[in-house]
Chains A and B, each alone.
Chain A
Amino acid sequence: MAYTKRNDGRKVDELRPMEAKAHIIPNADGSASFKIGKTWAIAAVYGPREVYPRFLANPKKGLLRCHYSMMPFSGSGERIKPGKSRRAQEISMVMELALQPVVDLSAYPNAVVDIFVELPQTDAGTRCAAISAACIALADAGIPMKDMVSSVAVGQVDGTVLADLDYSEESYPAEVSDIPVAMLHNTKEISLLQMDGEISKEDLLKALELAKAATEKVYELQVKALKEKYLEQ
């Protein structure tokens, strides 16, 4: 039986319902909330500010640092012990790489821009939600940016190429591949690409094509959240 009808009735290219809001944490220089289905990311940007430890400082340009963290009660199973896991550290690193191409920190030598992401609840696609939230927060903080980064997962479940897999699809008892993608809006370049599972080259290219339209929907929402914040003022 091929996976022809999605568990929640979505079309193959349909994303789960999304919600985004800019500037939700008064203490931060920039912040955002981004929800997609039952996955929820809250991001805060602090900086440019002084770097500690000092040896990390780059005299040529500012440093971009991401810190991804799932709240202890945000996993669909047992409680997650607080503190840095190997998974969280890797995700933090790929988030930095995903956002770096659009952020211009040349005006802030020796400084750091820190992005903290906390997830109160998750249902797959957490790194994508984290990146999408972080990018709104960076813009909200007024960090010089060349473009927006929008992120969503694509993939393949039992032969059907899909956008925005939820947990029930990631764990579908057949061949599944889950491909988190982040895309730059103007150039359509890809700054995050990972995969769990197996896929053919043809399906991979099909999935990446699907990611263009999918990330575009995320982009529209990111811009809307920023406009809602700044046009109301």
Chain B
Amino acid sequence: MIINKETIAELAKDNKRLDNRSLTDFRQPIKIETDLSWTAEGSARVQIGSTVVMAGVKLSLEKPYNDTPDEGGIMVNAELTPLSSPEYEVGAPGIKAIEVSRVTDRGIREAKALDMKKLCIEPGEKAWFVTVDIVTINDDGNLFDASGLAVLAALKSARFPVVDPETGSIDYKHKTDVALPLTKEPLPVTVYKINGRLLIDPTQEEEKAYDARLTVASDTKGTISALQKGGDAPLTIAEISSMVELALEKARFLRSELNKFLAD
């Protein structure tokens, strides 16, 4: 189906969308599954509408950085695979993959969601480093929110692997029942501005028609831990205020969905 940007923009003006959703509704279904990769220390698959992403956590023991000798670390990486969309190519990550991974990373890192000191085993010598890889399976828009949800779910499901007390080497085939020291649970929500209206959870077609977007990561208390403005149109402070408010509200919604799935 070829849809032009103007149609999406005109519809938005009348508070309408191509799929008849309200501007502030997520697509259905929202599905969250965890522990689907036995080789990862934690993993999750998130589906929002027909967007599907997976995230996997790997843990390793490394020497802490010189400036934080008593802390472990975290790194988030995103692979926007050519399997998931005709628009992605084989090769080094493009700017979109870099932005998704860095914004997701900041949401977790800046919230101090992981207690880095608890990841340290021996100051200056040995600490746990957490790597989370996001892999897209089907990109139908809103990768920021889907990725953030998948990363949080994967982190929550992660369990430390067994470490041989004598050699200090990791036995990746066996997990303990110890979870990561997660102190906060930040989730990003991205609000898009199209033709003067604010909307969330765009499809891939809508993503081609936006003027500006703002990703807001927030925790259970509503504290904001990452912001990223995108798009070539500027935003007024009043618009930013509405966007943040909407993002905080929708983060509560996503959090309740996540807790629902994790409780099952």
Contact = CB atoms under 8 A, between A and B. Distances in A.
Interface of A: 25-28, 38, 40, 42-44, 46, 49, 67, 69, 71-79, 82-84, 114, 116-118, 120-123
A75 B135 CA distance: 15
B92 interface: yes
Contacts of B85: 27
A120 B56 contact: yes
B193 interface: no
Interface residues of B, number: 35
B37 interface: yes
Given A78-B58, A82-B77, A121 B37 contact: yes
Contacts of B37: 40, 71, 73-74, 120-121
B137 A73 contact: no
Residue in B60, B84, B133, B137 with the greatest tally of chain A CB atoms within 10 Å: B137
A121 B38 contact: yes
A37 to B, nearest CB: 10
Given A73-B39, A117-B83, A79 B131 contact: yes
B233 interface: no
Given A74-B39, A76-B173, A78-B172, A69 B84 contact: no
A73 B130 CA distance: 12
Contacts of A116: 81-83
For the complex, would chain A's binding face be called helix, strand, loop or mixed by DSSP majority?
loop
A121 B83 contact: no
B57 A73 contact: yes
Nearest to B75: A79
A28 B138 CA distance: 8
Contacts of A82: 77, 79, 93, 133
Interface in B122-137: 131, 133, 135, 137
Contacts of B93: 82
Contact of B82 (A40, A67, A72, A75): A67
Residue in A28, A44, A79, A116 with the greatest tally of chain B CB atoms within 10 Å: A79
B45 to A, nearest CB: 8
B39 A67 contact: no
A193 to B, nearest CB: 26
Nearest to B97: A82
Nearest to A73: B56
Contacts of A67: 82, 90
A27 B173 CA distance: 34
B89 to A, nearest CB: 8
B86 A27 contact: yes
B36 interface: yes
A49 B82 CA distance: 14
Nearest to A114: B82
B40 A73 contact: yes
A42 B82 contact: no
Nearest to B129: A79
Interface string B18-43: 00000000000000000011111101
A87 to B, nearest CB: 16
Interface string B87-123: 0001011000000000000000000000000000000
B138 A27 contact: yes
29 contacts: A25-B52, A25-B83, A27-B85, A27-B138, A27-B139, A38-B38, A42-B137, A43-B83, A71-B79, A71-B133, A72-B58, A72-B131, A72-B135, A73-B43, A73-B56, A73-B58, A74-B56, A75-B39, A76-B172, A76-B173, A78-B60, A79-B58, A82-B79, A83-B92, A84-B90, A120-B36, A121-B39, A121-B40, A122-B39
